[in-house]
Structures are given as structure tokens and as C-alpha cells.
Structure 1
């Protein structure tokens, strides 16, 4: 009955929107025992610093080896870590604003910057998982990117997912079933970019006309199959993120309830 009620509640037109009645859910950690923004602020500061440092390191180490810094922007991995950094910056900024100014007023709905954070969160977490899985399953060790050493490889294709997983399991705001289109929209945007780049005569640093071997628009049949597979994968990973968030909510709510019971009985 609980599952039926959940799906009935989620499959509503209003759930496509970025609206949520409890604004503190965007700056309070799900595991904390008080209503202070400081615990999540500290964690978000670390994740923000880590994601920004990853982008800078990738730019400095990898782009320095490329014939043009513009090549840095053609890879989905770099789009992924860049949007991870944007997400963590906004998360940190929201927590910092609450710490410095006070609770956020949402009498007329969520502020635009919280909606932007929520959208980027929905897009970046499944995308980070997709980049890690797709890279190590199909690309790792077979695709030569100049200047990509083992340490940087692990960070941009592995630690990226760890960072976003930590952001996911400590958040309190909901993950909506119908928000799957956020990460799919990001994937479509990259797809359009790759098409334009190919037909404009763009090359990779090795002189190939395809950015990735499996995203070769000179072979549209196999490429379309890959694109459809990636789209299905992103939707599936959104479902995984949803499942993780539901488990997170279940156990964290029990944890907070048990803690309140302990405090009362004590």
C-alpha cells in the first residue's frame, strides 16, 4: 500500500516542477541531530574545494598537453566534472548564505538559486555515475588522451562519483521520480554539441574526426545505438539515485527519531 501511495503521489504534473515546501531541506543534513546549517556547510565546503580542485588540476595538467586548451571542452568527462563543481559551489553557497544571513524565505516559492542547484544536482549525480561506469567499461585503457596520467584518470573518472555520492547521501531534499529529464536534457545538450562539432569539421587532439571511438557520426547506425543506450542508462541511474535517496531518507529519519526518543527518555 505504501508503494502504491508513493507512485500515486509522484506521478503528478506538479512533480515535474522544482517546488518543495520545506526549504531547510536544502541546507540541513539528513543525518544531523539539530537544525544548525553548520554540519552540512562544513561538508559542502570540503566537497566544493575537492570538485573545484579537480577541474583546475584537469585543466592545468591535461590542457597543458593539448595543442589547444579548447580541446579540454570537447570531452563529456570534463563537462561532467565542471557541472559537479557548479553543483557543489551552489550547495556551499546556499549553506553559507544561511549561516551568514539566516533562514531562506520561500513564502513565494523556492528562490531561483535553490532551483538551479536542485536542477544541477539532479543532472550531475547520475551523470557522474554514468561517466565512471561508461569510461571503465568501454573506454579506460583503450582511448589515448595526451597528458592523462593514472592519478588524474582515477580522479576524473572515479573520485568524481565518490564526491557526488557523498553529496547525495548527506542531502535532505527529495529526489523526484519525474525529474529524470534533467540529466537526460544534459545528455541531449552534449549530443547536439557533438553533432555540431563533427559536421563543423572538429577534430580530437589525435586528429580523429570523432570525439570518442563509439561516438563517431561517420557511422550513424552504431552511434545512434550508443546514444539510445546512454539515454536509457541515464534514466536507469536516475532511478538508482532515487532508490538511494529513499533508503537514505528511511534510515536517516529513523536515526533522527531514535535520537529524539533517546533525548526525551534521558
Structure 2
């Protein structure tokens, strides 16, 4: 069991973001609870039925329904969600831009979050149009983009949570940051949309992919050092954040090392959310399958 877990998440093969079944990247994995009518059938979990003697229809007040039972084909409900998700992020990303946006980790992270959402929307839209027009489905678009999307998705999740935590604990209060709509978009709603997306998407998360947000962090670290020397040369302070001040290299180095380890923890947190989602999904699937078996074996109640 331990060896299979290690092979699944830490093998060299899993390091490269290539999925044998790229269709999983256009699939959702969510149930919703809805009121519905069942004709000539009944649901074992429901104890109250309303009967119509003329049509012999039984009302099953509530039942778990799957957005996308067939995960090999695009789904219109999931497309609506992805369209709203991409439109919201793209709009708020544009509103957050200013002449110093390129400097801050916040804007780097929010740009990647928006980019991965747009790429996912392109893949799903392309697959949906393909399936509707040609009555089939080609994996061409998925094969081209799913690995890029997967890397950006892994980076933006961990970095997004990191941005929210660091901003609200070390910058907003201590540094006199003001609560504005833009600040909430890029420092608060980013984590909300990330969590929502983790609960809905169906594609897997591997622990070994923590290397991608760490590489991203090292790239930004390199940029901050270059910015420090360039800004100092122009007579500036060279400081981007109070906790990333290379005027005090020893202290800043210690903070950076701690943040890199924290990124690993945050990626592990996204993995835990993913596993909990799978556990809940499988329990619901098992419960529904058992109910369906009981329906077929016993039939509807007598009238």
C-alpha cells in the first residue's frame, strides 16, 4: 500500500505533467442535491411519496444528481461554470493592473490563476463545439494544452493560498494596507475561487508536483534580487515587501527558506482537499449504486 502511494505520487514518471487520459481535464466531479420526479420508480432513501392516480407518477423529493456522470465527454453545466470562472478572473485581473503590477508576487500569482482558468475554458469549449458539430470528440486541443494547464494549475493553487495568508497576516494590518475591492479580488477571492475549483474539477493532484510552485517561487526570488540592485542603482530602496527586504540579506534569506517550505505544505493542503473530494464522491457513488440496486430488486411501492 505504501509502495503504491509512493509510486503514484513520487515516481519520476509522475513528475512530468502528461496524463494518459487527458479528457479528465474537461470533467467535473461534483454532486448536487435536487428535487425531481421519478416515473415508475422510487428512491429507497425517501420515505414520503406523493401519488397521482391518473399518471402513476411518484415524487422523489430529493436525490443526489451528478453534474457529469460520463467524464469522457464535455458537459454543458461544467462549461457554464468554467465560463463564469474565467470571466470573473479575467475581469478582476484587468482591474488590478497598474504600472507597478509586474513587481508584486500578488500580480504574478493572480496572472497565473487567470491564465489557467482561461486555458481550461478553451479546452472545454473546443471539446464541446467539437462534440456538438461533428458528433464526436477529438483530443487534439487537450493533448496540446493539458500539460501546460496542469503545471500552471499546480503553481497557482499553492501560490494563491500563500498570497492570501501572507497579505492578511503581514501586510494588510502591520503595513497599513487598506481594504478595497481590488485588494479583496487579488488577496481574498483568489483563494475562494481556488478552493471552489479544487472541489469541482476532476483531474488528479500529485504531491511531487510541489516542485512547480517551488520553482516559481525561486524565479520570483531571483527577480526580487535583480529588482533590488536595479532599484538601488536608481536611488530607490530596492524593497518590494517588508518581509522581502534585501537590505537585510540574512533575515530575508531565512524568511525565504521558511516560505519555500510553507509552499510545500500548501501544495500538500491542495492534495488533501482533492483526496477528501474523492472520498466523498466515492461514498455518494456507492450509496447511489446500492439504492439503484434496491430499486431494481424491489420495484416501486404498491398503489
TM-score, normalized by length of structure 2? 0.76
- For 1:257 and 1:181, locate their aligned partners in 2 and report how far apart those are by CA, in whole Å: 35
- For 2:264 and 2:253, locate their aligned partners in 1 and report how far apart those are by CA, in whole Å: 17
Please report the RMSD computed on the Cα atoms of aligned residues, expressed in angstroms. 2.3
2:164 touches 2:187 (CA, 8 Å); kept in 1? yes
The alpha-carbon deviation at position 154 of structure 1 amounts to 1.8
- Written as runs of structure 1 = structure 2, the 5 A alignment for 1:133-172 is 133-143=165-175, 149-172=179-202
- Specify every segment of 5 or more residues in structure 1 that has no aligned partner in the other structure, as ranges: 64-68
Structure 1 position 75 matched with structure 2 position 104: yes
The alpha-carbon deviation at position 92 of structure 1 amounts to 0.9
Structure 1 position 14 matched with structure 2 position 13: yes
Structure 1 position 244 matched with structure 2 position 282: no
- Written as runs of structure 1 = structure 2, the 5 A alignment for 1:1-266 is 1=1, 5-31=4-30, 32-35=67-70, 36-59=74-97, 63=98, 69=99, 71-102=100-131, 103-105=137-139, 111-143=143-175, 149-201=179-231, 208-263=237-292, 265-266=294-295
2:24 touches 2:203 (CA, 8 Å); kept in 1? yes
- For 2:109 and 2:172, locate their aligned partners in 1 and report how far apart those are by CA, in whole Å: 16
The alpha-carbon deviation at position 245 of structure 1 amounts to 0.6
Cα offsets for 1:93-152 (capped at 9, x unmatched): 11111101133437xxx623110100000000011000001111111123357xx65222
- The SS at the match of 2:231 is coil
The alpha-carbon deviation at position 243 of structure 1 amounts to 0.9
Count of matched residue positions in the alignment of Structure 1 and Structure 2: 250
- For 1:203 and 1:53, locate their aligned partners in 2 and report how far apart those are by CA, in whole Å: 36
1:126 touches 1:234 (CA, 8 Å); kept in 2? yes
Q: 1:212 to 1:76 in 2, by over 3 A?
A: same
Structure richer in helix, relative to its length: 1
The alpha-carbon deviation at position 215 of structure 1 amounts to 0.7
Larger Rg: 2
Structure richer in strand, relative to its length: 2
The alpha-carbon deviation at position 264 of structure 1 amounts to 5.2
2:127 touches 2:139 (CA, 8 Å); kept in 1? no
2:229 touches 2:238 (CA, 8 Å); kept in 1? no
2:167 touches 2:187 (CA, 8 Å); kept in 1? yes
Which gives a bigger RCO, structure 1 or 2 (Cα 8 Å, sep 6+)? 1
The alpha-carbon deviation at position 219 of structure 1 amounts to 0.8
TM-score, normalized by length of structure 1? 0.86
Q: Which residue of 1 aligns with 2:299?
A: none
Cα offsets for 1:7-37 (capped at 9, x unmatched): 3432321111112222221111012342242
The alpha-carbon deviation at position 164 of structure 1 amounts to 1.3
- For 1:77 and 1:245, locate their aligned partners in 2 and report how far apart those are by CA, in whole Å: 24
The alpha-carbon deviation at position 163 of structure 1 amounts to 0.9
- The SS at the match of 1:183 is helix
